A and B are shown apart, each in its own frame.
Chain A
Amino acid sequence: MITHHPKHELLSAFVEGELPASLSAAIAVHAEMCEICAKNIQHLTEESAANFFSPDVKTYNSYSDKPASNTAATDELSYEFMIDSITEDESIAELVVQEPLEIEIKGSTYQLPTALRSMSMMGWQKMGKLSRARLNLNEGALHSSLLHIDKDGGVPSHTHKGFELTLLLEGSFEDEMGTYVKGDFIWLTDKNTHTPHTTEGCLCYTVADDALQFIQGLSKLLNPIGAFIY
């Protein structure tokens, strides 16, 4: 059962389209697997729509409080023009039926969730039981990847300078704090240290805003792995 969910603030920002693509996709994938969050997103969307489209929103921001006199007339004209140009188009939008996209890594085949389907993906880089394919989203310090850990593999004890989001797409893993299953949305910050390990193997979608920091003895030598993974 899924026990880790995105926080309410994240869902609200998601619904308003304010989150970066990497995090928006993570929430969309989670909601595909989690009925509770899907329902909450539905409610939040209705609420946002009602807020923005209610007849009496006047005080939303200062930009719209500009004097109406000099814009009203030109607005009407340009609106008329806009309406004409839009309605000239007689076509209707066709639904596009897309085939599911599959990826193969270490002999296993996985179907990619819809939200990740169109993201441009770099090739797999492999280091022992770890394989990582970076998603090329161009979001500055935010790095998104697919991370595969083969059976009986793990990541040495580490913490994070910023945050690290792990969304389990397939399989399971465990760390000092518990066991995680498909769909779990695991948000870690610099306060959390953990040593993930998987018995059955797993595929994760990860988003982090800085490299991992390995903290234990020999693991310090492994810090290049941190840069490798995230």
Chain B
Amino acid sequence: MNTPWNYNSAPAEIILRNSTMDPDEQQQLKGWLYDIATDRDKAAFTALFSWFAPKIIRFGIQKLNTESAANELLQETMSNIWRKAHLFDGDKGQATTWVYSIMRNLSFDMLRKVRSNREDTLSDDIWPIAEAELIEDNVFDDHLMSTHILKHINTLPEAQKEIVNGLYFQDLSQEQLATKLAIPLGTVKSRLRLALVKLKQQIGESK
């Protein structure tokens, strides 16, 4: 913290250096994440794990200094990926950026635990998932709202189907649905998100 930061600084436009990531590889990572989200696909998870593990370990050792902390970071990051894959939106960014954010947040909380002896997890508030962006309002625009989407909706698990039906065919709000089904609003959002990932993928495949 000894850098003499200037008092009045104008922000400079940051120029991106060329990423060395191969686009095919990025596509592969996205594919694995979708498979985890929609099918709880362990093979896809294993592939993703093998791809990220050495890199997460390297990051962990650099930021947290010990091998055991790096291993904990790996375990926590991969476990978050397993449980949050449905929250990843491949249209908004790369899989690497998404995984990086998860890893960085966990590393931040671990570092804070060491430096300040606090167990709070402030990273979720400092780098929140923007829910408003996550659940777009106009997901079912006209061309999606055709009859052929109906058969896809029918393939959804019951819990997701009742959310989609309630929102788009009974015109209920997310809040009304939460009350009606006696579940938290966050659960409505998660189920909707999961349903959208599945529908998008199926519609994409059948095109």
Q: Residues of A at under 8 Å CB distance from B?
A: 3-10, 15-18, 20-21, 24-25, 28, 36-37, 40, 43-50, 52-57, 60-61, 63-64, 78-79, 82-83, 86-87, 89-97, 114-120, 137-140, 163, 177, 186-189, 191-192, 209
Taking a contact as CB atoms under 8 Å apart, the answer to whether A49 and B5 are in contact is no
- Name the residue on B nearest A55 (C-beta): B20
Taking a contact as CB atoms under 8 Å apart, the answer to whether A48 and B100 are in contact is yes
Taking a contact as CB atoms under 8 Å apart, the answer to whether A8 and B14 are in contact is yes
Given the interface pairs A24-B108, A60-B62, the reply to whether A53 lies near B100 with Cβ below 8 Å is yes
Residues of B within 8 A of A187 (CB): 5-7, 9
Given the interface pairs A52-B55, A56-B20, A97-B184, the reply to whether A139 lies near B9 with Cβ below 8 Å is no
Taking a contact as CB atoms under 8 Å apart, the answer to whether A60 and B7 are in contact is no
Q: Residues of B at under 8 Å CB distance from A?
A: 1, 3-14, 16-17, 19-22, 25, 40, 42, 45-46, 49-50, 52-53, 55, 57-59, 61-63, 67, 71, 74-75, 78-80, 82-84, 86-87, 93-94, 96-97, 99-101, 104-105, 107-108, 111-112, 115-118, 120-123, 125-129, 131, 134, 184-187, 189-190, 193-194
Taking a contact as CB atoms under 8 Å apart, the answer to whether A36 and B100 are in contact is no
Interface residues of B, dominant DSSP:
helix
Taking a contact as CB atoms under 8 Å apart, the answer to whether A47 and B5 are in contact is no
Residues of A within 8 A of B116 (CB): 20-21, 137-140
Chain A nearest Cβ from B76, distance in angstroms: 10
12 contacts between A and B (CB under 8 A): A5-B11, A6-B9, A7-B6, A17-B108, A20-B112, A24-B126, A28-B126, A50-B21, A61-B58, A64-B61, A83-B46, A86-B45
Residues of A within 8 A of B71 (CB): 78
Chain A nearest Cβ from B203, distance in angstroms: 22
- Name the residue on A nearest B5 (C-beta): A7
Interface residues of A, dominant DSSP:
mixed
Most B CB within 10 A of own CB, among A50, A54, A119, A209: A50
